[in-house]
Amino acid sequence: MTVGPGRFDEVRRPPPSIPPRMVHLVATQVADSARWMRTDAVVRLLPFSLTLLAVELIWRPRWLGISTGRTAEQLVAGLAAALVLFALAVGLRVLIARRLGRALVPADGSDLALQIGYYALNAPLEEGIFRGLLQGGMVAWIGPLPGIVIATAAYSLYHRFGGWHWLEVGATALAGLGLALIYQLLPGPPSLLAVSIAHLGATNGFLGLGPALLRRMDRL
């Protein structure tokens, strides 16, 4: 997902005895986030939604994952994975921000809430495309290992095409591999439920909530 431009946060010049902040903090306002979200919803999320709807209505493939599967197991696995991926994403956000010298952070609670809501909409749609349609279809066609590799590679490179730095693409690849394994290995009928919850945890660790917490703890 391509994040729109924000403004540089105004930070008072520290006293000489205090080292300068290592990361340029770019504070995003509601208007900034809403601007790129409006475009993103039309050019990315809407086509994703229509594609998944068409496949489900016309072919109804089991591997697409449009079901809750074993609901209790999906929920437990999804929540556990979300916590783990959130923590890992926060750690990677720190390392990458310090390497790149900049980080986007919500300017206030309103922008943070808007971002969290949008990421909740994005998660199941991305999972439907990359884990359900692509991975599910590839696994059914050529087998689990090549199917997972192809889907994870496509998921990672898709973020690069959205303007992400290669370091961020690498972090995305790690998350994508974890999500691919969850989708493939959980018992019961294929379901997007667990991976959508886990995806939301990873995204919020890397964007929005994670950077906001890091800023509050003065880790950026």
Where residue 22 falls among pLDDT bands split at 50, 70, 90?
confident
pLDDT at 188: 96
Phi, psi of 13 (to 5 degrees): -65, 125
Q: What pLDDT, on the 0 to 100 scale, is given for residue 198?
A: 98
How does residue 21 score in pLDDT terms, banded at 50, 70 and 90?
low
Question: Which stretch of DSSP H or E encloses residue 109?
Answer: helix 109-127
CA distance 74 to 80: 10
Q: How confident is the model at residue 18 (pLDDT cuts 50, 70, 90)?
A: very low
pLDDT digits (tens, 9 = 90+) for 71-105: 999 999 999 999 999 999 999 999 999 999 999 99
Spatial contact of 211 and 105, defined as CB atoms under 8 Å apart? yes
Q: What is the pLDDT of residues 131-180, one digit of tens each?
A: 999 999 999 999 999 999 999 999 999 999 999 999 999 999 999 999 99
Mean pLDDT, residues 30-57: 98
3 neighbors 35 (Cβ within 8 angstroms): no
What is the arithmetic mean of pLDDT over 50-77? 98
Residue 20 has pLDDT above 80, yes or no: no
Q: Is 189 helix (H, G, I), strand (E, B) or coil?
A: coil
Torsion sign over Cα 160, 99, 113, 124: positive
Decide if pLDDT at 49 tops 70: yes
> Residue range 106-116: average pLDDT?
98
Q: Is this prediction's pTM over 0.75?
A: yes
Buried b (16+ CB within 10 A) or exposed e, 46-73: eebbeebeebbeeeebebbbbeebbeee
**Can you tell me the distance from the alpha carbon of 106 to that of 33, in angstroms, rounded to the nearest whole number?**
9
Which run of H or E residues covers position 102? strand 102-106
Q: Where are the domains of the chain?
A: 7-216
- What does the alpha-carbon distance between residue 130 and residue 137 come to, in Å, rounded to a whole number? 10
